[in-house]
Structure 1
Amino acid sequence: MTLDDAQAYCTALTKQSGSNFYYSFLFLPKARRNAMYTVYAFCKAVDSAVDEPPPGTQPQEELTRWRAELEAAYHGTPTWPITISLAHHVKALGIPKVYFEELIKGVEMDLQNNRYLTFDELSLYCYRVASVVGLICLYIFGATSARAQDYAVALGMAFQLTNILRDVGTDAAQNRIYLPLEDLTTSQHSEKALRRQTYSPEFIRLMEFEAARAHQYYEKARAAFNALSRQERRALTVAEIMRGVYAGILKKIEDSEFQVFGPRIRLSTSHRLAIAASIWLRSRFS
C-alpha cells in the first residue's frame, strides 16, 4: 500500500465516524489535517479493538497486535494502512511513541476494570484515553510548551468526563460504571439504580456533582489557554473548537436536567459548524 492509499484510508475512516472532532479538523492546513485524520483513525481503531472486536478475535490479542504495529511504525516497517500513514506523520512531527503506548494502556483498562472506586482511579483512565490524545495533537498543532501541555491535559479530562456523563446510561447497560463509586455513595444513588437507569433526585444530585467537576477542568484549560502566547493560542484554534463543541454538549446535558437515559445527547451539525466558525473567526481577528 502506498502512503497516499494509507492516508486516504485514514481520511475515509474519520469522515465516516461522525465524530464531534471532524468539523474542527476542517480548519487545519492540509498536511496537519491529514495527520489529525490518521491519529483519529488510530485512536478509533484501537478503541474498537476492545469495544467492537472483529468476529473471531480476542480484544487482548488485538491490542497486542496494535502494540506490535506501533513498534513497526516507529521502526519504519508498518504493514497496516493506519500505521503506514502514522509512521509518516510521527516522523515528520516528532510525536513521542510513549503517548500512543499510554493510549493503548488506557483502552486496555476497559478489559481490566468496569468500576472505579475513587476519582483518582478514574483520573488515570481519563488521562490515558483522552489527555494523551491532546498531548499528541499538540505536535500536530505546533504548540508543545509546558503551559500548552497543561491545557491539553485539562481539556482531555473535561472531554472524557463529558463523555462519561453523556453515556452513563449506555455504559451502565454494558455493566460499565465510570462514575466513581465513592460519588454514588455520597449521592445515595446505588449501582443497582444506575444499572436500572433510575431517574431520581439522588441521580440528579450525582450528575450535578460530576458536571461541576467537568466544569472545573474546562476552567483549568481556559486558564492555561489564556496564559499562552498569542502565537500558541492561534495554533490551538482547533483545540478551542473542540472545547466549544464539548462544552456545548455538557450544557445541553445540564439543560435537559440530565435526561441521559434516552436518545444520545448531541449537537446538530449546523450547531457544531456555527461553533467552529465563531471560534475560528475570533482567533483570527481578536
Structure 2
Amino acid sequence: MRDRRRTHTDDTMMTPAEAQTYCTTLTKKSGSNFYYSFLFLPKARREAMYTVYAFCKEVDNAVDEPPPGSHPQEELTRWRRELAAAYDGTPTFPVTVSLARHVRELSIPQAYFEELIKGVEMDLTTTRYATFDQLSLYCYRVASVVGLICLHVFGTTSPRAQDYAVNLGMAFQLTNILRDLGNDAECGRVYVPQEDLARFAYREEDLLHRRYKPEFTEFMRFEVGRAKEFYAKAARALDSLPRAERRALTVAEIMRGVYSRILQRIEQSGYRVLGDRVTLTPSHRLAVAAGVWLRSRLPSSTP
C-alpha cells in the first residue's frame, strides 16, 4: 500500500512522490532567482532544494498573502505544528510531506526551520528597525538560516562553510531590501535602519513618497557598500575551504553571481530603486549560472 498524507489545501490524499511534484511545480512557477541555480544539482539534491524553497515560500505567504479569512499568526502556528509533524513522521501538508523525507535523509536540524518561522513572524509586528544590529537578526533568520539549511543539501557543513552561508545570506537579504525599497515603502515598511537614514539626513517621509535627493544617493552608496562587505566575507570564507567543499557550494556561488549582479545594477542605475524593480532577465540569470558552473569545473592548483 502506498504511503499517503492529507494535503494542506483539500481532503484528497497525497503520496510523498505527489508532494514532491507539488513542491517542484511551486518552485518552477515562482520565477525565483534561485531556481536557475537548482538546475545544476543532482536530481535528489535538486528535489530537496525545491522542497526547502517551497517551505520558505509558503511560510512567507502565510504572512504576505494569507488565505482569505485566515489570520497570519494562526497560519504560522499551523506551520509550526506541521514542522513538528514532519520531524515526527506525521505531516499533512504537501510541503511537509515532502520535507519529512528530505530532513531525515539529509539530517537538517529542526531548529533552523523554527528560526525561519520566527523571522517571518517578525513581519507581523515590526515595520521599522532602529539599528543595523536589530536588522541583522531579521536577516539572519529569514536568509542566513536558509543558507545553513542549504549546506545540508549541498553536502558540506564545516564551520567555515557555515561562515560562508551566514555571510552570503546576509548579503542576499540586504540586496533584496535595497532592491525592494520602493515597493516596501509603498506598503509602509522600511527595512533599512533608522540610524542610517538619520546619519545621511534622508527623511523617512521622502522615502515613503519615493523622492530622490542627494542625501538618498549618499545613503544608498553606504548601504550598497555594506552589502558588498558581506559578499566579500563570504568570498573569503569560500577561498579558505578545500576544493571539494568549494565545488559542493557551486550552486550557492551561482546564487552569489546572480545577486551580486543585481546589486551591481542597482549601483549602475544611480540607485534608482524607488520605481521599477531592478531585475535580471531569465537568459541573463541562466548565463550567469552556466558560467559559474563551468568555472567550478576548471582545474585548480589549490587543494
What is the TM-score when the length of structure 2 is the normalising length?
A: 0.94
Structure 1 residue identity aligned to 2:15? T
Unaligned runs of 5+ in 2: 1-13
Match of 1:269 among 269, 282, 303: 282
RMSD: 0.5
2:252 paired with 1:239? yes
Structure 2 residue identity aligned to 1:216? E
Structure 2 residue identity aligned to 1:70? L
Secondary structure of residue in 1 paired with 2:123 = helix
* Partner residue, 1:171: 184
* Counterpart-to-counterpart distance in 2, 1:55 and 1:84: 24
State the 1:204 CA deviation: 0.8
State the 1:163 CA deviation: 0.2
Secondary structure of residue in 2 paired with 1:188 = coil
State the 1:75 CA deviation: 0.1
State the 1:261 CA deviation: 1.7
* Counterpart-to-counterpart distance in 1, 2:267 and 2:68: 38
Match of 2:111 among 98, 105, 109: 98
* Counterpart-to-counterpart distance in 2, 1:52 and 1:127: 22
State the 1:90 CA deviation: 0.1
Match of 2:272 among 237, 242, 259: 259
State the 1:269 CA deviation: 1.0
State the 1:16 CA deviation: 0.2
* Counterpart-to-counterpart distance in 2, 1:205 and 1:197: 15
Structure 2 residue identity aligned to 1:51? D
* Counterpart-to-counterpart distance in 2, 1:55 and 1:263: 28
* Partner residue, 2:215: 202
* Partner residue, 1:18: 31
Structure 2 residue identity aligned to 1:99? Y
Structure 1 residue identity aligned to 2:281? S
Match of 1:150 among 153, 156, 163: 163
* Partner residue, 2:64: 51
Match of 2:49 among 13, 36, 41: 36
The within-5 A match list for 1:131-142 is 131-142=144-155
Structure 1 residue identity aligned to 2:130? L
* Counterpart-to-counterpart distance in 1, 2:283 and 2:183: 26
Structure with the largest fraction of helix: 1
* Partner residue, 2:125: 112
State the 1:270 CA deviation: 1.2
Secondary structure of residue in 1 paired with 2:23 = helix
State the 1:263 CA deviation: 1.6
* Counterpart-to-counterpart distance in 2, 1:143 and 1:112: 35
Q: Identical aligned pairs, as a percentage?
A: 69
Runs of at least 4 residues off by over 2 Å: none
State the 1:285 CA deviation: 1.3
2:197 paired with 1:184? yes
* Partner residue, 2:224: 211
The within-5 A match list for 1:41-80 is 41-80=54-93
State the 1:196 CA deviation: 0.5
Deviations 1:44-100 (A, max 9, x none): 000010011111001000000000000000000000100000000000000000000
Deviations 1:113-155 (A, max 9, x none): 0000000000000000000000000000001000000000000
Q: Which has the larger radius of gyration?
A: 2
* Partner residue, 2:7: none
The alignment of Structure 1 onto Structure 2 pairs a total of residues equal to: 286
Structure 2 residue identity aligned to 1:178? Y
* Counterpart-to-counterpart distance in 1, 2:163 and 2:239: 12
What is the TM-score when the length of structure 1 is the normalising length?
A: 0.99
Structure 2 residue identity aligned to 1:74? Y
2:282 paired with 1:279? no
* Counterpart-to-counterpart distance in 1, 2:212 and 2:34: 30
Structure 2 residue identity aligned to 1:263? D
Unaligned runs of 5+ in 1: none
